[in-house]
A and B are shown apart, each in its own frame.
Chain A
Amino acid sequence: MKTNDLIIQTTTKVVFYIIFLFSIHIFFAGHYTPGGGFVGGLLMSSAIVLLLLAFDLKTVQAMLPVNYTVVTAIGLLIALATASGSIFFNVPFFTHAFDYYNLPLLGKTSIHTAMFFDTGVYLVVVGVTMTIIQMIGGDE
């Protein structure tokens, strides 16, 4: 018998974006307040997990046509590239740089290479968590 998941599906449609935004927020806020790539990534994947709970595996795959192994690889690459970028400026591996810029729309913003590294962490965490959950969930 097919169960009726209307309430949870409707709620999920709303809550997903809230968690997603919270995850983005906590990622960007990480450098100054609690948060960062790791927690942000975990929150992002929990948002996707919520989707998985409300819908089934195939639907979610259709909604977000993402290969999470590739996400992991891209994250790792970004992290490594950020760390190795410093070599081109003749400074030791993993030296970060930051400065303040006046960006349109955002105003005075600090741009820090550590953020790119954190992006890598974020993607890896999302990729890994989702790979594990999909793998175990999809296995029968």
Chain B
Amino acid sequence: MSLVFAIFTPVIAALLIPLLYKRVSAIHTGWFVLLIPVALVSLYATYIPPIIDGTTYKDELPWIPSLGLSFISYLDGLSLLFSLLITGIGALVVLYSIFYLDKKKEKLGNFYVYLLLFMSAMLGVVQSDHLISLYFFWELTSISSFLLIGYWYTKDRSRFGALKSMMITVFGGLMMLGGFVILGILGDTYSIRELIAQAPDLVDHKFFVWALVLVLLGAFTKSAQFPFYIWLPDAMEAPTPVSAYLHSATMVKAGLYLVARFTPIFALSEVWVWLVTGIGILTLLWGSFFAVKQTDLKAILAFSTVSQLGLIMSLLGIGSIAYHVTGDLVTTFTFATFAAIFHLMNHATFKGSLFMIAGIVDHETGTRDIRKLGGLMSLMPISFTIALIGSLSMAGVPPFNGFLSKEMFLDAVLNLKNFDLHALDSWWILFPIIAWIASVFTFVYSLYFVFHTFRGKHKPEQLPKAAHEAPVGMLLSPGILASLVVIIFFVPNFFGNTFIKPAVAAIQPLAYQVPADVGFTIKAWHGFDSLAMYMTLGVFLVGYLLFKTIPKWSPIYKTFPTKLSLNGMYDGLMRLGDSGANRFSSIYMTGSIRSYFVYMFTAIIVLLGGTMWIKDAFVISYENLAPIRFFEILISIILIVGTITILVTKSRLTAIIALGAVGYTVALFYILFKAPDLALTQLVIETVSVALFLGAFYHLPQMNKHEKGKEDRGFRLGNFLIALGVGVMVTLIAISSHSQKLIPSISEYYKETVYSEAGGGNIVNVILVDYRGFDTLFEISVLTIASLGIIGMITLRLAKKKGDRKVENK
């Protein structure tokens, strides 16, 4: 089966889901859905052996060939690992959701359509080799995740969480698109593999860092890194299967995938190393610290997800140091990448199971509030066992897989001492310290999660439901994941060789040709000379002490003001954006035509004046000027007097008559400048319009009815200046354009041909009806429209007149 087709299988299947949901209501729709991830995971499993040998697969489906856009599915170690995670955990989540979501109460059709859409999108993200199709799938994950978070759309919190996650991830997605476009332009290709080959040439380009930062923004927002993690806790309003799937195992790892995938390109820049490592370790500390504060089971897990993603992110950053060193150090730092991928896999297993347990607790007791829970151990023994396995693995306790990856993490952080760049020989010590503190808090919240839920005193009176063990079907998926947690601990190198090494070879293509070259083995026992082991022992000791004394030191969380928290800032920013935009538009959108005229005329002055100023366009030339005649001066004086009268007069009637005078003067000008047709038309039209003005005047209310004794039109300096400015501008432009006639007029042609070609003597009329009759045709259409408009305005009066009597004209 074609790989591209495999990506689209879930979404194509999603088309059938509503039909099955409506028609086959006896069977839970999830059972049909389950077939798809199961089929896909078996398909991808067949690729494991060749990928271990170093083979890669590529499948291409042209999309817009003229733009070089195609869906390219490229399967190597990294994308195969992610594809297996997506489909494998997807299958378990679907299985879990069959028992979690009620067939009758829930809109299952919607749920599974969104889920399958998401699955396709995720597969597309991890397999795309084309940047634009990668972005396409990336946004599809944002959208489907938005739909899934808002699944219970009648709840305010769901909608809020969905919107928040949408805003943040789409912000990052758009930034990432910017980065992709820069990369595409720099490398003249959108294929990731071709870009990797070109990376050494690109790294010195001045836009390279921009591309890097923008792509990282995309990765950080999706992977809930500091300070963008804030959407993840709010996304916990989604149904628990969604939280388990999207917000622990897959979507939040899309950012990690992106970082890993782009490491061969961007790691050549030091900015990348510092940003990824620094933000990762900061997120690790921040998330683990605030996880203990939470009282909601899923919120604890959300913060723990944030923190664990930070851990993986910082490991990927340390791993990318391998591009900056030579010799044995390459192997030393690549070990961090190995640890990152290993922890990524481990995290998917234990966090998936923990979320499912949180869902079971919620489902069986009716609450997720840890303050109400307690003493469930004897009531829900299987859930407790699974939760214990997951939590201890998260805390890094043997014999669970989290222990292995946590050890490797500490090792990798300690390895930083070998990298002596930018005084890191003294500063590097910060990293292990932060990592250690974060590990302590991880230990604390892991114990807090499991023991405060399952140990202590049972409080049945506070629970909405009587607690009892979940059905087998619901326990199946977390059970499988929890057993994987244990299995990975005992045979880590099997998983290492099968999944991790091909992925590492894909991230570090320069160092390793085939996965077999990656020479790491996972050891559970480091020996007594390992510093990491002592650090782990310290974590256990200090963590246990802190856990026992939580009530004593937890009040420090109250010292953090809500307003200064990142959520507070986000809310403030949203409010500010909302009210700020409102206030801004209410400032300039006054609704008064007068102010809009002010804007327009000011724009005319500024734009035209500015252009003339910049281009130095003002020219005055005394050539081509006709001599001024006496009548012209006389008529101009009349014209000016008429105009000023219009401006200063206090009565409307005077203004109308002065306007008429101006019109007739213009007609006189036409006569003087030998335009008889214009003069004729001007005279008649002026008469008609003055008559119409008088008609309008007759019906107008008295001008100064309400403000007697005041000036009829107040003088406003601003208006005066603007009017003056426009007048001056137009005059300057007229003078300049008259002063520089670049081409001769075409009127000579009309003069020569008016009789011979057009059979006429009056050039004006011949131009109107013959040479340019087209214009006339539309001008008479304009007249027609105007008259029809007047008919409409006068006869169709639907508005009521005074006295509430509906007046209808004939």
Residues of A within 8 A of B (CB): 26, 30-39, 42-43, 46, 69, 72-73, 75-76, 79-80, 83, 94, 96, 98, 110, 112, 114, 117-118, 120-121, 124-125, 127-129, 131-132, 135-136, 139
* Contact (Cβ within 8 A) B787 A132: yes
- Given known contacts A35-B680, A132-B790, A136-B790, is B685 in contact with A42 (CB within 8 Å)? yes
Contact yes or no, B685 A98, CB < 8 A: no
Q: Is the CB of A96 within 8 A of B758?
A: yes
On whether the beta carbons of A33 and B762 are closer than 8 Å, the reply is yes
Name the A residues within 8 Å of B764 (CB-CB).
34, 36
Instruction: Contacts A35-B762, A39-B681, A83-B773 given; indicate if A120 touches B791 (C-beta within 8 A).
Output: no
The reply to whether B676 and A34 form a contact with Cβ atoms under 8 Å apart is yes
Residue of B nearest to A95 (CB): B770
Enumerate chain B residues within 8 angstroms of A131, measured Cβ to Cβ: 787, 790-791
Leading 9 A-B pairs by shortest Cβ distance: A32-B761, A34-B676, A98-B759, A36-B765, A124-B780, A31-B760, A128-B787, A131-B787, A42-B684
Q: Is the interface of A mostly helix, strand, loop or mixed?
A: helix
CA distance A115 to B685 in the complex (A): 23
* Contact pick for B783, options A114, A124, A136, CB 8 Å: A124
Render B672-709 as a binary contact track against A, CB cut-off 8 A, 1 for contact. 00001100110011011000100100000000000000
List 15 A-B residue pairs with CB atoms under 8 Å apart, sorted by A's residue number.
Answer: A30-B762, A32-B760, A35-B762, A36-B768, A69-B791, A75-B780, A83-B773, A114-B766, A114-B773, A117-B769, A121-B780, A129-B688, A135-B787, A135-B794, A139-B809
How far does the Cβ of A38 sit from chain B's closest Cβ, in whole Å? 6
B777 proximal to A (CB < 8 A)? yes
Q: In whole Å, how far is A111's beta carbon from the nearest beta carbon of chain B? A: 9
Q: Does B622 belong to the interface (CB within 8 Å)?
A: no
Expressed in whole angstroms, the Cα–Cα distance for A22 and B794 within the complex equals: 33
- Whole-angstrom distance between the Cβ of A118 and the nearest chain B Cβ: 5
Partner of A124, one of B758, B769, B784: B784
Residue B521 at the chain A interface, CB threshold 8 Å: no
| A118-B769, A120-B780 known; A72-B760 Cβ under 8 A | no
Which residues of B have CB within 8 Å of A37?
A: 769
B621 within 8 A of A: no
B672: shortest Cβ distance to chain A, in Å? 15
Within the assembled complex, what's the spacing in Å between the Cα atoms of A66 and B480? 93
In whole angstroms, what is the CA distance A97 to B758 when docked?
8
B774: interface (CB < 8 Å): yes
Contacting pair B769 A121 (CB below 8 A): yes
B760 / chain A contacts, CB cutoff of 8 Å? 31-32, 112, 114
Task: Decide: A121 near B776, CB < 8 A? Known: A39-B681, A114-B769.
Answer: yes
For the complex with contacts A39-B681, A79-B777, A110-B759, 11 further pairs of A-B residues with Cβ separation under 8 Å are A33-B762, A34-B677, A35-B765, A39-B684, A96-B770, A124-B783, A128-B783, A132-B790, A135-B795, A136-B692, A139-B794
Do the beta carbons of B677 and A36 come within 8 Å of each other?
yes
Q: Which residue of A lies closest to B784 (CB)?
A: A72
Q: How far is B788's CA from A73's CA once the two chains are assembled, in angstroms?
A: 11
Q: Quick check: B762 and A36 within 8 Å, CB to CB? A: yes
- List residues of chain B with CB within 8 A of the CB of A132: 692, 786-787, 790
The answer to whether B773 and A117 have CB atoms under 8 Å apart is yes
- Are B680 and A39 interface neighbours, CB within 8 A? yes
Asked if A125 contacts B762 (CB within 8 A), the reply is no
**Contact of B766 (CB < 8 Å), options: A31, A34, A94, A128:** A31
**Across-interface contacts of B795 in A (CB, < 8 A):** 135
Residues of B within 8 A of A94 (CB): 773-774, 777
A98 partner residues in chain B, CB cutoff 8 A: 758-759
Complex-state Cα separation, A124 to B681, whole angstroms:
15
The answer to whether B791 touches A35, judged by C-beta atoms less than 8 angstroms apart, is no
- B685 and chain A: residue at smallest CB distance: A42
Sorting the interface of chain B by its residue count into under 10, 10 to 19, 20 to 34 or 35 or more gives: 35 or more
CB-based contact A76/B784 at 8 Å: yes
User: Known contacts A39-B677, A75-B780, A79-B780: does B794 contact A136 (CB below 8 Å)?
Assistant: yes
Question: Measured between alpha carbons, how far is A30 from B790 in the docked complex, in Å?
Answer: 30
B595 at the interface (CB under 8 A from A): no
For B749-767 the 0/1 string (1 means CB < 8 A from A) is 0000000001111101110
In the bound complex, residues from chain A placing their C-beta under 8 Å from that of B766 are 31, 114
A77 to chain B, nearest CB (A): 11
When distances are taken between beta carbons in the complex, the residues of chain B under 8 Å from A35 are 677, 680, 762, 765
Q: In the bound complex, how far is the Cα of B759 from the Cα of A129, in angstroms?
A: 30
Residues of B within 8 A of A124 (CB): 780, 783-784
Q: Which residues of B contact A96 (CB under 8 A)?
A: 758, 769-770, 773
Among A39, A80, A129, A131, find the residue whose CB has the most chain B CB atoms closer than 10 A: A39
B42 interface contact, C-beta 8 A: no
Q: Does B781 contact A (CB under 8 A)?
A: yes
Is A128 a contact of B786 with CB atoms below 8 Å? yes
Closest to A29 in B: B762
What chain B residues lie within 8 Å of A121 (beta carbons)?
Answer: 769, 776, 780
Known: A114-B760, A131-B787. A136 touches B681 (CB 8 A): no
User: Which of these, B681, B758, B787, B809, contacts A72 with CB under 8 Å?
Assistant: B787
Give Cα A136 to B780, complex, Å.
20
Residues in A whose Cβ lies below 8 Å from that of B777: 79-80, 83, 94, 117
Let me know if B761 and A31 touch, CB within 8 A. yes
- Choose one: A26, A76, A114, A135; the contact of B770 (CB below 8 Å): A114
Contact (Cβ within 8 A) A76 B685: no
CB distance from B749 to the nearest CB of A (A): 16
Chain B residues whose C-beta falls within 8 Å of the C-beta of A30 in the assembled complex: 762, 765
In the complex, A43→B758 CA distance in Å? 26
> What residue of chain B has the Cβ atom nearest to residue A26's Cβ?
B680
**Cα of A88 to Cα of B252 in the assembled complex, Å:** 70
Q: In the complex, A135 Cα to B791 Cα: how many Å?
A: 7
CA distance in complex: A72, B782 (Å): 11
Which residue of B is nearest A139, CB measured?
B794
Smallest CB–CB gap between B685 and chain A, Å?
7
Contact check, A34 vs B684: say whether CB atoms are below 8 A apart. no
User: Is A125 in contact with B770, judged by CB distance below 8 angstroms?
Assistant: no
In the bound assembly, the distance between CA atoms of A79 and B762 in angstroms comes to 20
B786: A residues at CB distance < 8 A: 128, 132
In whole angstroms, what is the CA distance A117 to B766 when docked? Answer: 11
Residues in B whose Cβ lies below 8 Å from that of A118: 765, 769
A61 to B64, CA, bound (A): 68
Judge whether A38 and B681 touch: CB under 8 Å: yes
Please give, as numbers and ranges, the residues of chain A lying within 8 Å of B787 by CB-CB distance. Answer: 69, 72, 127-128, 131-132, 135
| Chain B residues closer than 8 Å to A135, beta-carbon distance | 787, 790-791, 794-795
Q: Closest approach, in angstroms, between the C-beta of A87 and any C-beta of chain B? A: 14
Min CB–CB distance A41 → chain B (angstroms)? 10
Name, among B764, B773, B780, B788, the residue most crowded by chain A CB atoms within 10 Å (CB to CB): B780
Shortest C-beta distance, A57 to chain B (Å), equals 13
- How far apart are the CA atoms of A75 and B780 in the complex, in Å? 9
- CB atoms of B770 and A34 under 8 A apart: no
Closest A residue, CB atoms, query B678: A34
A42 B681 Cβ-Cβ under 8 A: yes
Closest to B688 in A: A129
| CB pair B684 A31 closer than 8 Å | no
- Cα separation A79 to B702 with both chains bound (whole Å): 44
Give min CB distance, B802 to chain A, whole Å: 14
Given contacts A131-B791, A136-B692, contact A112 B759 (CB under 8 A): yes
Instruction: Tell me the minimal C-beta distance from B759 to chain A in angstroms.
Output: 4
Query: Which residues of the partner chain A approach B773 to less than 8 Å between Cβ atoms?
Result: 83, 94, 96, 114, 117
